[in-house]
Structure 1
Amino acid sequence: MNHLTITTATTADIPQLVTLVNSAYRGEHSKKGWTTEAYLIEGTQRVDEASMLQMMTTPGAIIKKCTTADNAIVGCVYLEARGKELYLGMLTVSPEIQATGIGREIVKAAEAYAAAQKFEAIVMVVVSLRRELIDWYIRRGFQLTSERRPFPTDTRFGTPTQPLEFVVLKKTAQITP
C-alpha cells in the first residue's frame, strides 16, 4: 500500500467522496468488502453531492479523508461536534483494500481530533443487524449502549429490505491525542 495521509476534505473532494462512499456501502461493487449494506438496503446511492456538501458545511463538522501518494481518496469519516461529544459517521474504506488497517488508522485520526478539541466522548450509530461491524468498533474501545434510534424513512438513499434500527456506541475517557 502506498503512503497514506489523513487530512480534512474540501468541497473539491466531493465527487470522489461520493463515489467512494457509495461503492463501499451500496450495490454490487460494495460486496467486494465486508462493510457492504447491500443485503440490508436496496439501491446504489448512500450519499449524493448535495448531501455531501450539506455535511461539509454543517457548523462544527468536518470530513477527514485518507489519500494515497497519488491523491486517490481511499477512505473517509464524517465528524460532527454535538455538545461535548463528537459524532463519528460514514467511516468508509474502499472495498478493494478493506481489512488492511486503513479503517483503524482513520478511527485513530478521529480520536486524535476528538482529544485535540477536548471532546468528552465519541458517539456513533450502527445498524443493529451489523454485528460484525459493532464487534469491530468494540475491539477499538467503543461500548455498546442501551440506546436505540430509528432508521431513517427517507428512501432517496435506499430502501431497507427489512425493519432496521440503529444501536448507539460510545467511547469515552480512553480518547488520547
Structure 2
Amino acid sequence: MNTAPDTALRYATLKDIPALVTLVTSAYRGDTSRAGWTTEADLLDGERIAPDVLRVDLERPRSLVVVLERAHTLLACAHVAEEDGAGYFGMFAVAPALQGSGIGKHVLAECERIARDDWQLPSMRMTVINVRDELIAFYQRRGYQRTGAFKPFPYGDARFGQPKRDDLRFDVLEKNLRTEAVA
C-alpha cells in the first residue's frame, strides 16, 4: 500500500496500547476531539476504548490493529477482524489535526485489503452510532450501505463511554468486498 514517504503502516503490538488509547480518545472525546470532525464529545464522555478491550483485540486470532505512524508517532489506526464470516472494521481514529487529509482513507483501504485478500472474506461490516449522520455519509461514499440492522448501545458499561443521551444505538453498515478490484 502506498503512503506518504515519511509515514509507515504496521500492525500494533501490546506495547502500543497506551498510545492507541490516547489517539482514539483524542479523536472522539473531550475538547481535543473538537479540532476534527469525528468528535463524539456532545454524545459521550469518558473512555472510547479501554486498554483491556484493546488487549483482547490484539491477542485474538484474525484480529489486527493497523496503525499509520510518522517518526514513531501514531497518526491513525483501525481495528480489522473476522466476525461471523465477514470482516469487521472498528476503532477507526485519525489524529484530529490530520482529519480530512486522506490518511484515514488509506487505513480503511488497507483494512479492506486484509479482509478481502488475506482472509478471503466477502464483506466488511461496521457499527456506527445512529445519530452520526456525517460519519455514516463518509462510509456510504466509500461503498458501505446501511443494512437496516441495529445493535444496542452498551449503556452502563463505562469501557465504552458515558452517554449524554438515552437514544443511542449502533447502525450496522456493510460493504461487499468481492466487487472490489484486487490490487
* 2:37 equivalent to 1:3: no
Question: For residue 162 of structure 2, what is the aligned residue in structure 1?
Answer: 159
Q: Is the 8 A contact 1:112 1:176 kept in 2?
A: no
Structure 2 stretches of 5 or more lacking a match? none
Q: CA-atom RMSD, angstroms?
A: 1.4
Q: Is the 8 A contact 2:76 2:103 kept in 1?
A: yes
Percent identity over the alignment is: 36
* 2:155 equivalent to 1:150: no
Question: For residue 58 of structure 1, what is the aligned residue in structure 2?
Answer: 60
Q: Is the 8 A contact 1:151 1:166 kept in 2?
A: yes
Q: Deviations over 1:127-166 (max 9, x none)?
A: 0100000000000111111111111121243211112011
Q: Deviations over 1:27-78 (max 9, x none)?
A: 11111110011100122x212322221221123211001111x121110001
Question: For residue 110 of structure 1, what is the aligned residue in structure 2?
Answer: 111
Q: Whole-Å Cα distance in 1 between the matches of residues 7 and 179 of structure 2?
A: 25
Cα 1:29–1:2 shift into 2, 3 Å:
farther
* 2:144 equivalent to 1:139: no
1:2: how far off? 6.3
Q: Whole-Å Cα distance in 2 between the matches of residues 107 and 156 of structure 1?
A: 24
Q: Is the 8 A contact 1:123 1:171 kept in 2?
A: yes
Question: For residue 36 of structure 2, what is the aligned residue in structure 1?
Answer: 33
Q: Whole-Å Cα distance in 2 between the matches of residues 176 and 80 of structure 1?
A: 20
Three-state SS of the structure 1 residue aligned to 2:124 is: strand
Q: Whole-Å Cα distance in 1 between the matches of residues 90 and 84 of structure 2?
A: 16
Q: Whole-Å Cα distance in 1 between the matches of residues 153 and 147 of structure 2?
A: 17
Question: Normalising by structure 1, what TM-score?
Answer: 0.93
Q: Is the 8 A contact 1:147 1:168 kept in 2?
A: yes
Cα 1:12–1:176 shift into 2, 3 Å:
farther
Q: Is the 8 A contact 1:30 1:95 kept in 2?
A: yes
Q: Whole-Å Cα distance in 2 between the matches of residues 71 and 159 of structure 1?
A: 31
Give the ranges of 4+ consecutive aligned residues of structure 1 lying more than 6 Å apart after TM superposition: none
Structure 1 stretches of 5 or more lacking a match? none
Q: Is the 8 A contact 1:126 1:166 kept in 2?
A: yes
Question: For residue 100 of structure 1, what is the aligned residue in structure 2?
Answer: 101
